[in-house]
Amino acid sequence: MKPFSEELAQHIAVMNLAQSCAASVELAAHLLQKTFENGNKVLLCGNGGSAADAQHIAAEFVVRYQLKRRALPAIALTTDTSILTAHANDFDFDSVFARQIEALGNAGDTLIAISTSGNSKNIVQAAQIARAKNLNVIALTGENGGTLAEFATNLITVPSKITARIQETHILIGHYWCGVVEEGLNVSESA
């Protein structure tokens, strides 16, 4: 059995390498803050573990991260089973998130598109539609960003090929964003 210390060492190594994307992460935090300040919303999408990350980050924005404050408009496009299954059945799964952006996205909104490879067809199509509708696109990926890099207004590539390490870094980044946004809000505002 591989010792936990090896897994932890690998995690720490990737986290240290993630310093290389600090400037992009901070720019994205500023963009998210401006999105909410301007009365716009954040849409999020991903597959598998990245879908869970999309839901996790959306929940932190809507409910709260660490401070009591007003709810922020964030929607994980991964949660409506009727939309997901109807679209996949009637059309295909590649456009399942793009269709929701078509319906819900407005100019000035921001899409957080999460794909560890950067090549998930449904995430790439979502980013394409988002850009066509003048949404900002923050792409959270691994390694080189894949095809998704082409459609990102802000690309964050975690320097790793290991899905688990990329996802661990993505959720750290998401938590950082939530903290920055909360600190920038008037926290005396409540629901």
Q: What is the mean pLDDT of the chain?
A: 95
CATH code of 4-184, in short, is 3.40.50.10490
Question: Which pTM was predicted?
Answer: 0.95
Question: 3-class secondary structure for 65-83?
Answer: CCCCCCCCCEEECCCCHHH
Q: What is the mean pLDDT of residues 161-182?
A: 97
Q: What is the mean pLDDT of residues 118-147?
A: 97
So what's the pLDDT on residue 185?
82
Residue 111 per-residue DSSP state: E
Residue 85 to residues 81, 95, 115, 191, Cα–Cα distance (Å): 6, 12, 20, 33
Give the tokens for residue 122: 């449904």
